[in-house]
């Protein structure tokens, strides 16, 4: 390698760059999956409870307001907020992007170390160069995908605001 990275050995690159990215993507994917499942669970449970509660023959009032009506309204509000936040933050897409990138990095590391797949028959320098290129391309592609997901969501939100103002 004829650039500043030439002084980094393959094992240093794997430990200091590839595995660092792999760990980061793993951690973020776990977080995004938990957020996605929490939001979806709230929506499903809340959406299921509302029709049941509406049909409960319970007529207690506090200050002239039906307790069931207040509870149904609060649950419905929770469902709407949960679904809206998922549409803003795209936890599912982020989870999938992070997990697929983490898996790709793991496969690249394995292929490189075992010299199978696209690394088969390459000398050490060419294999290392390919590993660095593919790792950096994967990270750049994931960054672009996340930015695109968030920008698309922002653009859709802005266009809805504009059409509502018209």
For residue 45, count CB atoms less than 10 angstroms from its CB and return exposed for 0-12, middle for 13-18, buried for 19 or more.
middle
Predicted confidence at residue 111, as pLDDT, reads 98
* Residue 15 belongs to domain spanning: 8-156
Residue range 64-80: average pLDDT?
95
Provide the pLDDT confidence category of residue 157 given band limits of 50, 70 and 90: low
Q: Give the per-residue pLDDT at 100.
A: 97
Q: Say how many CA atoms lie within 13 Å of 154 toward its Cβ.
A: 6
User: Per-residue pLDDT averaged across 157-165, rounded?
Assistant: 61
Mean pLDDT of the chain: 91
Averaged pLDDT, 128-154: 91
Residue 89 lies inside a defined structural domain of this protein: yes
DSSP 158: H
For the chain, how many structural domains are there in total?
1
Q: What confidence score (pLDDT) does residue 149 get?
A: 85
Whether residue 164 is contained in a domain is answered as no
Given this model, what pLDDT does residue 165 score? 65
Euclidean distance between CA atoms 71 and 41, whole angstroms: 18
According to the model, what pLDDT value does residue 150 have?
82
- CA–CA separation, 166 and 156 (whole Å): 16
Higher per-residue confidence, 146 vs 31: 31
161 lies in some domain: no
Residue 146 lies in a domain: yes
In a domain, 63, yes or no: yes
Give backbone dihedrals phi and psi of 40, rounded to 5 degrees, phi first: -65, -40
Residue 61 domain flag:
yes
Question: Which range, 40-54, 55-69, 141-155, has the best average confidence (pLDDT)?
Answer: 40-54
Answer yes or no: is 36 within a domain.
yes
pTM of the model: 0.81
Residue 162 lies in a domain: no
pLDDT score, position 152: 72
pLDDT at 163: 61
* 8 backbone φψ class: left, alpha, beta (φ>0; ψ -120 to 50): beta
- Band of the pLDDT at 136, cuts 50, 70, 90? very high
Q: Which of 15, 17, 36, 14 is nearest to 99 (CA)?
A: 36
Task: Quickly count: other Cβ atoms within 10 Å of residue 166's Cβ.
Answer: 5
**For 70-75, which contacts have Cβ atoms below 8 Å and span 24 or more sequence positions?**
75/46, 75/49, 75/50
């Amino acid at each position: 390698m004829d650039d500043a990275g030439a002084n980094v050995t393959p094992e240093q690159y794997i430990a200091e760059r590839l595995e660092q990215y792999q760990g980061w993507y793993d951690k973020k994917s776990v977080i995004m999956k938990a957020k996605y499942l929490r939001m979806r669970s709230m929506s499903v449970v809340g959406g299921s409870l509302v029709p049941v509660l509406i049909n409960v023959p319970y007529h207690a009032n506090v200050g002239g307001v039906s307790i069931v009506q207040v509870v149904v309204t609060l649950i419905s509000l929770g469902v709407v907020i949960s679904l809206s936040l998922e549409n803003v933050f795209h936890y599912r897409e982020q989870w999938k992007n992070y997990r697929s990138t983490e898996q790709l990095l793991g496969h690249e590391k394995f292929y490189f170390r075992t010299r199978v797949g696209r690394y088969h028959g390459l000398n050490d320098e060419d294999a290392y160069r390919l590993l660095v290129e593919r790792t950096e391309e994967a990270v750049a592609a994931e960054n672009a995908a996340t930015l695109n997901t968030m920008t698309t969501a922002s653009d859709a939100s802005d266009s809805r605001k504009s059409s509502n103002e018209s």
